[in-house]
Amino acid sequence: MSKRLQVDFAGLKLAHPLVAASAGTTKDAEHSFRAQEAGFSAVVLKSVQEELVNRYNPLPRFSIVKSGIPGYNSVSFLSYEQAFEGDIHDYAEMVRETRRRLSIPVIASINCIEYESWATYAKIVEQAGADAVEMVPSCPAGAFIRKGEEFTPIAANVLRAVKVKVKIPAGIKMTQQLSNPVACAVTLEQEGSHWVTMFNRNPGLHIDIETMSAIMHRSACGHGGPWVALAITRWVAHAYPHLKIPISATGGVTRWEDVIRYLLAGAANVQIASLIYMKGYDVVKEMLGSIEGYLDRMGIESIQNLIGRAVSELQPLEAVDRSCRYLAVVTHRCVNCGKCKNICLYDAIDFKGETPSINPDLCDGCGLCEQICGGAILMKRIVPQN
């Protein structure tokens, strides 16, 4: 593996930023070994859950929901995946076996209910050989979410308890169900978290209109898809300038470009699970090749130089340029398909000729027709007259 892809993460040396996230895809030593063989730089083991009901999977537990505006692709991946099937002692044995078989970092994942249990669980996985531990007070089907308790003080208390007992790096996997994730991340850093992971899957509900009942066991369950990446990117980018600890981004990754976007927003690594479910472990090989190709094309020596690079370009609302106008222009590529016919809110598109024309006095310059058209309409910048 090229050294230019190496990243430092909370004291762990990773060959590259792609990490196998906590899921059924890392549920034991064998599946974690598959992740290593495919090329992932680290594994976050499937969570061990103190809550007994979360140790048993209902079946079936996956659903792919295809929806959205006709002609546009929209997919949500619903999962009712539960936690590790055994107790903490079974989990410790799995950690030992995984650590024995793997040469890449092994990160344990724990999810407790009782305050006292967090430190106990963390100490047990440390003694079993885990290189780090990720605490997860935010399982989509977990007790805290169901009770509606406030996440930040719970996570802060978890950190205080764990930091006293263990020496390995310890981080918090955050929920996105917060009024201010940036403030939460800052608080967790102050409490000693070695990193924060943004974010755990949100609970979602999909209703079948024929049966008039929710699918997936008539219950809310974790859901994700490409749509979630924009929200995660936003919070990573806004948290990055306020933190000295690294951020691990997870959710919404469907291709290598998503990894680059997360890095540019400030993530130090990217955890992947759903894509492994959908495409298999070997998807990481193609992604790494494409990422190296991107670095070559952009003339970037090290992937470290990408982290947070886009953040300085972000502008506040009041700084956005509102002085320039744009005008939509129909080009020779127009085939008169009619896609733009009904979407102009300003009645600027005229279909009286063989091909549409645009009235410059009515065109607002919003840019929607260009996006809908797909190549025959371009936006021309109009320099304001002094």
Q: Where are the domains of the chain?
A: 3-313, 320-382
- CATH for 320-382? 3.30.70.20
Give yes or no on whether 3-313 and 320-382 have one common fold.
no
Residues ≥6 apart with Cβ < 8 Å to 249? 197, 198, 232, 233, 236, 262, 265, 267, 269, 270, 271
Reading the block at residue 351, the tokens are 């279909």
Q: Give me the tens of pLDDT residue by residue for the chain, a chain 386 residues long.
A: 689 999 999 999 999 999 999 999 999 999 999 999 999 999 999 999 998 777 787 888 878 888 877 777 778 888 878 889 999 999 999 999 999 999 999 999 999 989 999 999 999 999 999 999 999 998 766 666 656 568 899 999 999 999 999 999 999 999 988 889 999 999 999 999 999 999 998 888 889 999 999 988 888 878 888 889 999 999 999 999 999 999 999 999 999 999 999 999 999 999 999 999 999 999 999 999 999 999 999 999 999 999 999 999 899 889 988 888 899 999 999 998 888 888 999 999 998 878 899 999 999 999 999 999 988 999 999 876 55
Q: How far apart are CA 52 and CA 269, in angstroms?
A: 31
Looking at domain 3-313, its CATH architecture is: Alpha-Beta Barrel (3.20)
**Residue 303 in contact with residue 4, Cβ under 8 Å?**
yes
Query: Helices marked H in the chain — which ranges?
Result: 29-38, 88-101, 115-127, 143-147, 151-165, 181-190, 215-218, 229-239, 256-265, 274-279, 283-298, 368-373
Amino acid, single-letter form, for residue 97: E
Q: How far apart are CA 80 and CA 346, in angstroms?
A: 46
Half-sphere exposure for 16 (CA within 13 Å, toward CB): 22
Reading the block at residue 193, the tokens are 């978290």
Q: How far is CA 68 from the centre of its chain?
A: 20
Reading the block at residue 101, the tokens are 């078989």
Reading the block at residue 189, the tokens are 């850093």
Q: What are phi and psi of 320, to 5 degrees?
A: -65, 130
Q: What is the largest CA-CA distance in the chain?
A: 77
Q: How far is CA 240 from CA 10, 244, 265, 295, in A?
A: 15, 8, 8, 22
Q: How far is CA 195 from the centre of its chain?
A: 15
> What's the chain's Rg over C-alpha atoms?
24
Q: How far apart are CA 347 and CA 345, in angstroms?
A: 6
Residue 326: count other Cβ atoms within 10 Å of its Cβ.
16
